[in-house]
Amino acid sequence: MLNYFVRRILGAIPTLFVLMALAFFLIRLAPGGPFDSEKVLLPEIEANLRAAYHLDEPLYQQFARYLGNLLQGDFGPSFQYRDLTVTELIMTGFPISLRLGAGAMALAVIFGVLAGSVAALWQNSRTDYTVMAVSMTGISIPSFVMAPLLILVFAVYLGWLPAGGLGGGSLRNMVLPVVSLALPQIAYVARLTRGSLIEILRSNFIRTAKAQGLPMGKILLVHALKPALLPVVSYLGPATAAVITGSVVIEQIFGIPGLGRFFVQGALNRDYTLVMGIVVFYGTLIVVFNFLVDLAYAWLDPKVRYG
């Protein structure tokens, strides 16, 4: 187990390295620099500024410095918000995005597994077809289409929920963004659960359990659900990535000051360090989460050898 653990961590290092290298060289590609402004700077002042930001060093040295700083959690200064570092900005935005994303993931797993199990247990019934049709609709309506539609119905026409903003972090303000982010994922998890549960319910060990006279509820909870959830567990990695990407648009639509909104605003304002910092931060998050998912998978599935 420890061996596997270490090997997986070592395996993640090249991924993180490529991520950071891509980030670093993309930022060099970006037109413009930190001191572009309307007034032209004196050459001496510009040279001093370049030295202050270490831009006068050779590229490999800058890259090494960038990596070193990253490893210490320092994403450098923001181009736009001169008083704040990128690290500080990420730390203000991330808790808000985290609540949004975690809420969406929780909804996706709970309702997805529930709906998928119901559909699988009553396979080919009207309930099954309804669940599957609804989930196909959920997959087909992207969250940035769903969000305005939900606002139109629940905020504009019915007036039940606020149309946007953080509202001091109240639950009412989180409902619509979390739901629109979660719906496609709920649908996906439901389809995955249904497919694998149907397969499991046909297998020999379930037939044996039935033959022994175990009640259906017990068979489902004790025997069937754990192996049936394996595809769902391995989908959690891509789901995280999808939720993070989706939150970029959702935060924009609902005016929530999370990381996704910082990202879009930063990109439009050409705040390159902030934007790259967010890419590296989220990229690392996804890599780490995938690693955790793999560990959970190995723990759940006895067939997976730690090799």
Partner 1 sequence: MPGWIRKLDMDEALGIETKQDQVVVRSLWGDAWRTLRRNRAAMTGAMLMAIIVLVVTVGPWFSQYAYDFTDWPNTSIGPSLGTGHFFGTDTLGRDLFVRTLYGGRISLLVGVVASVVSLLIGISYGATAGYFGGRLDAIMMRFVDILYAMPFMFFVILLMVFFGRNILLIFVAIGAINWLDMARIVRGQTLSLKQREFVEAAQAQGVGALAILVRHIVPNLLGVVAVYITLTIPQVILVESFLSFLGLGVQEPMTSWGALVKEGSEEMETAPWMLLFPAFLLATTLFCFNFIGDGMRDALDPKDRQ
User: Which residues are near partner 1 by CB under 8 A?
Assistant: 14-15, 18-19, 22, 26, 29-31, 136-137, 139-142, 144-145, 147-149, 151-152, 156, 191, 194-195, 198, 241, 244-245, 248-249, 252-253, 263-264, 267-268, 270, 275-276, 278-279, 282-283, 286-287, 290
Residue 85 β-bridge partners: 77
CB of 214 to partner 1, least distance (A): 26
282 CB neighbour count, 10 Å cutoff: 23
Output the six-digit token pair for 94.
Answer: 């991330």
Rounded CA-CA distance 226/206 in Å is 12
Nearest distance from C-beta of residue 30 to partner 1, angstroms: 5
Indicate the residue among 26 and 110 with the shorter CB distance to partner 1: 26
SS3 37: coil
SS3 40: coil
Query: What are the phi and psi torsion angles at 144 (to 5°)?
Result: -80, -10
**Cβ 254 vs Cβ 177: under 8 Å:** yes
Report, in Å, the least distance between residue 282 CB and partner 1.
5
Which is closer to partner 1, CB of 98 or CB of 214? Answer: 98
- What's the Cα-to-Cα distance from 34 to each of 5, 27, 145, 287, rounded to whole Å? 41, 11, 36, 30
**How near is the Cβ of 303 to partner 1 at its closest, in Å?**
18
User: Residue 126 CB, nearest distance to partner 1 (Å)?
Assistant: 15
Minimum CB separation of residue 151 from partner 1 in Å reads 7
Q: Say which residues have a Cβ less than 8 Å from residue 226's Cβ, sequence separation at least 6.
A: 300
| Minimum CB distance to partner 1 smaller for 56 or for 199 | 199
CB of 181 to partner 1, least distance (A): 13
Looking at beta carbons only, is 100 or 253 nearer to partner 1? 253
> In Å, how far are 56, 135, 237 from 199, measured between CA atoms?
62, 19, 23
Q: Report the chain's terminal Cα–Cα distance, integer Å.
A: 9
Select 214 or 285, whichever has its Cβ closest to partner 1.
285
With a CB cutoff of 8 Å and minimum separation 6, the contacts of 195 are 120, 231
How far is the C-alpha of 160 from the C-alpha of 267, rounded, in Å?
Answer: 34
Q: For partner 1, which is the closer residue by CB, 158 or 268?
A: 268
Query: What minimum distance in Å lies between the beta carbon of 245 and partner 1?
Result: 5
Query: Is the CB of 45 or the CB of 292 nearer to partner 1?
Result: 292
Judged by beta carbon, residue 222 or residue 292, the one nearer partner 1 is: 292
The DSSP annotation for 55-78 comes to TTS-HHHHHHHHHHHHHTT---B-
